[in-house]
Structure 1
Amino acid sequence: MYNLKLAFRNLLRQRIGTLINVIGLSLSIAVCLLIALFVQYEYSFEEHNPDAKNIYRLLNINDGKRDPIHPITFFGKLTDAIPELNSGTIVQYMKEDFFMVENEQWIAHDVIFTDNSFFSLFKVHILEGGSSPLSDASSAVISRSEAEKLFPDVSAVGKILRFQNRYDFTIKGVFEDAPVTTNYRPNVIMNIHAKEILQNYEYTSMNNQSSNFYFLIPPDANRKSIVEKISAQAKIAYGYDKHTPVFAFQPLSDIHLRSSDTIWDTIARSDENIVRLFILVAVLVLLIAAFNFINLSVALRSKRNFNTGMQKVMGAARGNIFGYLFIETFLLVGFCLLAALFIANMLLPYFNGLMGTEICFSITNPLLWGAIAAIAVFNILVPVLVQLHNQMRVNPSASIRSKGRALPKKGNISVVQSLTVAQIAISICLIIGVVGINKQFDLLLQKKLGFDKENLVTVGNPWNDKVTNRYAVYKQELEKLPAVLDVTGTWNTPGFPLNNGGSLEFDSNGEKITKSVRQAPSDGNFFTVMQTRFLMGSAYSGTDSAKAVINERCWQNMNVENPIGLKVKNSFDGRDYEICGVIEDIQNRSLQSESQPAIYYLHPELGSFIIRLKSGNLQKSIAELRAVWSSVEPDQPFRFSFVDENLRFNYTREIRTKALLTIMSLLAIFISMLGLYGLSMQIIQGRTKEIGIRKVNGAKIAEILAMLNRRFVVWVCVAFTVAVPLTYYAMTRWLEAFAYKTSLSWWIFVLGGVATLFVALFTVSWQSWRAATKNPIEALRYE
């Protein structure tokens, strides 16, 4: 009890040091707890599924790119020909789609087409209906939450969902909402065989890639042999003579974190490298706070020596001193842990909003307590052992004579120097890292996209028997509006993948060449509306159905000097085209990956309008577009989006990462500066007598300031030389994941060093100024 009182009294006596430690440790531990919960969330995807380790997604490897989407008809060909693939399912995902429910329009989010095997493979719990509710092509099931919204007082089973106002699905069951840590969280599930009626071409064509394939493969199966069989079947299905498609299996548990290099992925995914980056920054933040703790304890040694000397004179043994130090540190760290729990719980909703997660703060979470225990042990034992080592070397008579006014010894100064340099180096690394990461993300967000994205609006043109006529009528009406500059149409608008593939066959030096290509059918004025630059040739006209335009990537892949006038056969529609132009690559997706080869040509059915509006009142313009749509197509909802927002959505992960890393880095720098403030205060207090003597002997304020700040400037310079090579190496490795990379300019590193030096001097100079301007009589009064 005596040690408890003494420890509590000592913490109160050293109010500034205690406050700095409490703020630094509480904030850093709160950050570590949030990151620990975030890491647990990211790594727990599909853990609820006991078969997850044996479920694999099929990937097509094309030109080194991993592509998870395949033609619907290919699934049946594989399961019929390869017995090992009998336990599998096909999934076609849509972010949203339109239904009529009891004469009311309903936009459903997270809609999938699949078969009955989906429920067993993904462990979907059926609440109403049988275990195989997708009994026929018109069958559908909906989630419990959506059933309660749509049919609050009656059962949803037997109700009709009219899909896109043209096909009736009967609800055959209700399933429990999927857990948050799963790759698919559907609200509506429909039978994939309905595609035969809805879009027969998509259902039967080998050139329309739209679906993911999942297979349950026993652990003792030879997956390499199965992949070879899939390649052989693909060669037959696609009709290839020489080319053999390459495939690979991706474990279900890897999809969420290890799919950053896949293209045309419809699953919302994260990135394991980003998760590791957050772990690293959280550890660095905690280290800075821990270094503060140790530094201040060493800097305060002279004041603590008096107490230790008195304890030794009174007969205290090593165990007694250890007990006192342990209790004092335990009190401080224990309070910080409680404060950190409160801060983390308070900040969790904001963290979830920033990162788009659904993390829950549960006091029964074993990971939470594991993280608390690890942090507590580290922050209690390390400072206690450091202080115990120092205190056991105290000479009782010398410490009592000094009455706590002596400076720490030279050996202790070296400990302070080492930890402070490490602390400053971490701060410099974080500043350089954040600036470099922001520079890379700014490149992705601002890089030239091959078209002008400003004031571009897309309007969906539903795929049904009216798609061609509706396109002509709506376009004609839009061109009459004063707010509309021009209108065109295409299959896939920028921000969404070109999910239809194929190949171009052409003659080159007497040899038949085949190259893969993405399909981008578009109206004749598409390139004018998009303001795309032609590298050579020109666009096709609105009636020139035998001409085609390719992008720069396609031209490079074809390896021909001048493709203008070249005749190509497109496997997608079996037609021959003459290339009339080459355009700059239009970026349809994230710039983390390179653009894909694409071919543009006329097509009678265009599923999206692209409208360029005049600058000004965009909301009024949208209202006019909506009014025209209602007059042309009253049975279909008006669904629009801005192209720049679609593109920005592809960088949601990067934007969130940028924001969180910036916040964490600023927090780390703040904690580091708190430590410098406390350390400078203790060092300057220890030199009060020296400053007084120098002033009496005529030293100027500027000279005293230079003397006091010189040590911190040297520390920053040493830290800078340590931080630069480490950060350069780390940033170079991180940038390898991007197809388009920013340059690591010299000014990024200089900015990190200069910013740290400025903040450090600003922090320290206040204490230096007070000491330099203090009346020397105050310092020498008791000497």
Structure 2
Amino acid sequence: MYNIKLAIRNLLRQRMGTVINVTGLSLSLAVCLLIALFVQYEYAFEKHNPEAKNIYRLLNDFDGERDPIHPLVFYGKLTDAIPELNDGVMVDLNNEDYFVVDNEQWILSGVIQTTNEFFDLFNIQMVEGPQNPLTDASSAVLSRSEARKLFPDGNAVGKTIRQRNNYDFTIRGIYEDLPVTTTYRPNLILNIHAKEVTDNHQYTSMKNESIHFFFRLPENADQASVAKKIREQARTAYGIDDYKGTYVFQPLTDIHLRSSDTTWDSTERSDIKVVRLFIIVAVLVLLITLFNFINLSVALRTKRNFNTGMQKIMGAETRNIFSYLFTETSLLVGLCVVAALFLTSLALPYFGKLMGAEMDFTLANPVLWGAIAVIALFNVLLPVLVQLWYQMRVNPSATIRSKGRALPKKGNIPVAQTLTVVQIAISICLIVGVVGINKQFDLLLHKKLGFNKENLVTIHNPWSDNMNQRYKLYKQELEKLPSVSGVTGTWNPPGHTLNNGTTMFYESAGEKRQLHLRAAPIDGDFFEVMQTRFLMGHAFLPTDSNKIVINEKCLQNMNVKDPIGIKIRHGFSNRDYEICGVIEDIQNLSLQNESSPAVYYLEPELWVFMVRLNPGDIRKTVAEMERLWKQVEPDQPFRLSFVDEDLQANYTREIRTRKLLTIMSLLAIFISMLGLYGLSMQIIQQRTKEIGIRKVNGATISEVLGMLNKRFLFWVVAAFIIAVPLTYYAMKKWLETFAYKTELSWWVFVLGGLVVLLVALATVSWQSWRAATKNPVEALRYE
């Protein structure tokens, strides 16, 4: 009890040091707790599913490009031929589709098509209806929340919903909403066998690759052996003796965080690199605060040395001094923990919204208290041990004679100076890292995309029997508008997933070859409207019904100099074509990965209009386009989006990461400078007599300022020398994960050093100026 009273009295006596320590540690602890909750959320995916560890997604690896999509008909061939694959399911991740419910139009997201096995593998619990509700091709089931939205009266089972005005599904059941930490969280599940009617080509063709396969493998299964069997089946199914593709199994628990290298993947996912980056930031912020804590504790040792000297002369042992230091530091850290919990509860909703993560704050969370225990332990023990080391090396008699100013023996490592340099180096690393990350993201957001994204919009053309007629009629009406400069069509507009995988076969130098790529059906004027540059050949002519255009990546993979005139068999349409042109790569999704090889061919039935607008009143033009749509197709919704916004949406994770890293880096610098302010204050107070004597002897204010700031300038320079190679290596490694990367310019490092230098000098110069302008008589009287 005595130690507690003494600790409280000392903490109140040293108010400025206490405030700085509490502010810095509370903020950094709150940052660490927020990141700990975020990491817990990211690693929690599929942990609720007891079978998740045995479930795998099948990936096709073709020339180093891994994709999760396969022909629907291939699933049955695999399960019939390979016993290890008998326990699995095929899934079409439609994600979004158009439905009519009770004569009301709905655009529903989270739509998938699958079979009853999905409910078992993904641990879906039925609320109404049987556990295996997809009893026939027209069966459908809704999540509890989606059923409540579509059928507010609560009577969803037995009701009919119509997909795209051409196929009716009957609701057979309702299932419990899946946890937010579920990789695949559908709102509406349809029977995949309906595709026999709605999309027979996809249902029967080995050339249409768009279905995900999941398998629950036995724990002792030889995955490499099973993968070889799958490849053998692929050779037979595709009719290719030298089929180049290989297969790998990806654990279901890895999909959310470890799928950044997969292509043609519509799964919403995060990135393990981002999670690790935030862990590093949390550790750095914690280190800065810890060093602050230690430095200020050591800097405040003058009065404590005097008290300690008196205690040692009175017979106090090391354990008594340790007990007091431990009590004082524990009280301070305990106060910071309470403040940090309060700050975390306030900031978590905003933090979760920024990161796109649904996280809850609860004091019953073991991860929360685990993080607090580890952080608190370090922040109590290390400062106590350092203070104890300092104080026990000071001669008590010398301490009493010098009124507490006696220092440890010469030759000891200057702990405070070392920690300060490391602390400043961390701040420089964070500044350089944030600038480098922003530079990389700016490259991704503004790099050439192979087309002009400005004033370009997409309009959805729903799949139906009359979609071809609707396309022609609406295109004619749009082309009459003076505000429209061009109209074309495609299946996969920029900003959306490319899921039309196929294999192209051709001959070169007398050798039969094959290439796995993306098939892109388009209208004849697609390249003109998109303003895409041709590298070789020409665009489609009116008579080019059997011609095809390839992109630059496809040309590179073909390994031929001049592809014009080469005959190929296009697997997706199962037709023979001749290459007539080569275009620059059109980047549909994120530039984190390289462009996929692609072929473009003419197709009359197109799902998406691409409309190029003239500059002007865009809002008025959009209203006119909607009016024309309602004239042409009053029964279908008008769905328009801007291509630049669709592309921007692909960088949502990167934009969020950039914002949060910037905020946390600024916070870390603030904490660092807060500690530097407290340290400079203590150092200057200890040199008050020296300053007074120098001024009496004629020293000017500028000379005193230079004397006081010189050591801080030296610390920043030393920290810069340490930080540059470390940051360069870390940034170089991080940039290697991008297909398109920025240069690590010299000015990025100089900027980081200058920012920290200016902030540090501004921080300490205020204290220095006050000391330099103080009346020397008052300074000597103070001493």
TM-score with structure 2 length normalisation? Answer: 0.98
How many angstroms apart in 2 are the aligned matches of 1:3 and 1:559? 79
Q: Give the aligned length.
A: 783
> Equivalent residue for 1:433?
433
Question: What SS does structure 2 have at the residue aligned with 1:601?
Answer: strand
Question: What SS does structure 2 have at the residue aligned with 1:89?
Answer: strand
User: Which residue identity does 1:56 align to in structure 2?
Assistant: Y
> Equivalent residue for 1:414?
414
Give the alignment of 1:601-680 within 5 angstroms: 601-680=601-680
> Equivalent residue for 1:555?
555
> Equivalent residue for 1:223?
223
User: Which residue identity does 1:501 align to in structure 2?
Assistant: G
User: Which residue identity does 2:660 align to in structure 1?
Assistant: L
User: Which residue identity does 1:695 align to in structure 2?
Assistant: K
How many angstroms apart in 1 are the aligned matches of 2:259 and 2:598? 23
Asked if 1 retains the 8 angstrom alpha-carbon contact of 2:288 and 2:423, the reply is yes
1:621 Cα deviation from its structure 2 partner: 2.0
Residue-by-residue CA offset, 1:177-224 (whole Å, 9 max, x unaligned):
000111111110000001111111111111222111000111112222
How many angstroms apart in 1 are the aligned matches of 2:122 and 2:729? 41
Question: What SS does structure 2 have at the residue aligned with 1:698?
Answer: coil
> Equivalent residue for 2:361?
361
1:410 Cα deviation from its structure 2 partner: 5.5
> Equivalent residue for 1:330?
330
> Equivalent residue for 2:318?
318
Give the alignment of 1:175-254 within 5 angstroms: 175-254=175-254
Residue-by-residue CA offset, 1:430-481 (whole Å, 9 max, x unaligned):
1111111111111111110001101111011112211111110010011112
Asked if 2 retains the 8 angstrom alpha-carbon contact of 1:298 and 1:412, the reply is no
1:592 Cα deviation from its structure 2 partner: 1.1
How many angstroms apart in 1 are the aligned matches of 2:625 and 2:607? 17
Question: What SS does structure 2 have at the residue aligned with 1:781?
Answer: helix
Asked if 2 retains the 8 angstrom alpha-carbon contact of 1:302 and 1:408, the reply is no
Give the alignment of 1:102-501 within 5 angstroms: 102-404=102-404, 414-501=414-501
Which stretch shows the higher mean deviation, 514-523 or 719-728? 514-523
Which stretch shows the higher mean deviation, 147-156 or 284-293? 147-156
> Equivalent residue for 2:14?
14
User: Which residue identity does 2:323 align to in structure 1?
Assistant: G
Give the alignment of 1:753-764 within 5 angstroms: 753-764=753-764
How many angstroms apart in 1 are the aligned matches of 2:758 and 2:482? 55
How many angstroms apart in 1 are the aligned matches of 2:746 and 2:140? 59
Asked if 2 retains the 8 angstrom alpha-carbon contact of 1:235 and 1:245, the reply is no
How many angstroms apart in 1 are the aligned matches of 2:46 and 2:613? 44
1:149 Cα deviation from its structure 2 partner: 2.2
Which stretch shows the higher mean deviation, 148-157 or 164-173? 148-157
Question: What SS does structure 2 have at the residue aligned with 1:502?
Answer: strand
1:745 Cα deviation from its structure 2 partner: 1.1
Asked if 2 retains the 8 angstrom alpha-carbon contact of 1:494 and 1:646, the reply is yes
Q: Does 1:589 align with 2:610?
A: no
**Per the alignment, do residues 400 and 225 of structure 1 end up closer, same or farther by CA in structure 2, a change over 3 Å counting?**
same
User: Which residue identity does 1:533 align to in structure 2?
Assistant: R
**Per the alignment, do residues 410 and 108 of structure 1 end up closer, same or farther by CA in structure 2, a change over 3 Å counting?**
farther
User: Which residue identity does 2:768 align to in structure 1?
Assistant: S
1:320 Cα deviation from its structure 2 partner: 2.3
Structure 1: 5+ residue runs without aligned partners?
none
How many angstroms apart in 2 are the aligned matches of 1:554 and 1:370? 51
Asked if 2 retains the 8 angstrom alpha-carbon contact of 1:458 and 1:641, the reply is yes
1:148 Cα deviation from its structure 2 partner: 1.8
Asked if 2 retains the 8 angstrom alpha-carbon contact of 1:463 and 1:607, the reply is yes
How many angstroms apart in 1 are the aligned matches of 2:311 and 2:48? 57
User: Which residue identity does 2:432 align to in structure 1?
Assistant: I
1:523 Cα deviation from its structure 2 partner: 1.1
TM-score with structure 1 length normalisation? Answer: 0.98
User: Which residue identity does 1:148 align to in structure 2?
Assistant: R
Residue-by-residue CA offset, 1:298-342 (whole Å, 9 max, x unaligned):
111112112222333443332322222111111110000000000
Question: What SS does structure 1 have at the residue aligned with 2:677?
Answer: helix
Question: What SS does structure 2 have at the residue aligned with 1:310?
Answer: helix
Asked if 2 retains the 8 angstrom alpha-carbon contact of 1:427 and 1:668, the reply is yes
Asked if 2 retains the 8 angstrom alpha-carbon contact of 1:65 and 1:262, the reply is yes
Question: What SS does structure 2 have at the residue aligned with 1:515?
Answer: strand
1:393 Cα deviation from its structure 2 partner: 2.9
Which stretch shows the higher mean deviation, 620-629 or 662-671? 620-629
Residue-by-residue CA offset, 1:18-39 (whole Å, 9 max, x unaligned):
1110111000000111111111
Asked if 2 retains the 8 angstrom alpha-carbon contact of 1:140 and 1:169, the reply is yes
> Equivalent residue for 2:739?
739
Structure 2: 5+ residue runs without aligned partners?
none
**Per the alignment, do residues 24 and 14 of structure 1 end up closer, same or farther by CA in structure 2, a change over 3 Å counting?**
same
Residue-by-residue CA offset, 1:93-121 (whole Å, 9 max, x unaligned):
12321111111112211111010000000
User: Which residue identity does 1:101 align to in structure 2?
Assistant: V
How many angstroms apart in 1 are the aligned matches of 2:577 and 2:47? 50
> Equivalent residue for 1:513?
513
Question: What SS does structure 2 have at the residue aligned with 1:600?
Answer: strand
Residue-by-residue CA offset, 1:54-110 (whole Å, 9 max, x unaligned):
111000001101101111111111112212111101111123211111111122111
Asked if 1 retains the 8 angstrom alpha-carbon contact of 2:85 and 2:216, the reply is yes
Give the alignment of 1:564-583 within 5 angstroms: 564-583=564-583
Which stretch shows the higher mean deviation, 766-775 or 331-340? 766-775
How many angstroms apart in 2 are the aligned matches of 1:731 and 1:203? 47
Question: What SS does structure 1 have at the residue aligned with 2:602?
Answer: coil
How many angstroms apart in 1 are the aligned matches of 2:79 and 2:244? 19
How many angstroms apart in 2 are the aligned matches of 1:554 and 1:113? 31
1:291 Cα deviation from its structure 2 partner: 0.3
Give the alignment of 1:63-74 within 5 angstroms: 63-74=63-74
**Per the alignment, do residues 633 and 543 of structure 1 end up closer, same or farther by CA in structure 2, a change over 3 Å counting?**
farther
1:511 Cα deviation from its structure 2 partner: 2.8
Which stretch shows the higher mean deviation, 336-345 or 611-620? 611-620
How many angstroms apart in 1 are the aligned matches of 2:344 and 2:660? 15
Residue-by-residue CA offset, 1:671-720 (whole Å, 9 max, x unaligned):
00001111111111111111111111111221111111111111111111
> Equivalent residue for 2:96?
96
Give me the identity figure in percent. Answer: 70
The Cα RMSD (Å) is 1.5
Which stretch shows the higher mean deviation, 563-572 or 200-209? 563-572
> Equivalent residue for 2:537?
537
Residue-by-residue CA offset, 1:656-685 (whole Å, 9 max, x unaligned):
111111111111111000011111111111
How many angstroms apart in 2 are the aligned matches of 1:41 and 1:782? 56
Which stretch shows the higher mean deviation, 574-583 or 207-216? 574-583
**Per the alignment, do residues 708 and 408 of structure 1 end up closer, same or farther by CA in structure 2, a change over 3 Å counting?**
farther
User: Which residue identity does 1:466 align to in structure 2?
Assistant: N
> Equivalent residue for 1:711?
711
> Equivalent residue for 1:48?
48
Question: What SS does structure 1 have at the residue aligned with 2:722?
Answer: helix
How many angstroms apart in 2 are the aligned matches of 1:365 and 1:498? 40
How many angstroms apart in 1 are the aligned matches of 2:154 and 2:585? 53
User: Which residue identity does 1:131 align to in structure 2?
Assistant: Q
Residue-by-residue CA offset, 1:137-168 (whole Å, 9 max, x unaligned):
00000001111222233331101111112211
Asked if 2 retains the 8 angstrom alpha-carbon contact of 1:496 and 1:588, the reply is yes
Question: What SS does structure 1 have at the residue aligned with 2:154?
Answer: coil
How many angstroms apart in 2 are the aligned matches of 1:72 and 1:680? 70
1:411 Cα deviation from its structure 2 partner: 6.1
1:534 Cα deviation from its structure 2 partner: 1.1
Asked if 1 retains the 8 angstrom alpha-carbon contact of 2:394 and 2:407, the reply is no
Residue-by-residue CA offset, 1:598-651 (whole Å, 9 max, x unaligned):
111211111110011122332222222211111111111111211111111111
How many angstroms apart in 2 are the aligned matches of 1:630 and 1:550? 36
Question: What SS does structure 2 have at the residue aligned with 1:512?
Answer: strand
Asked if 1 retains the 8 angstrom alpha-carbon contact of 2:484 and 2:611, the reply is yes
User: Which residue identity does 1:202 align to in structure 2?
Assistant: Q
User: Which residue identity does 1:45 align to in structure 2?
Assistant: F
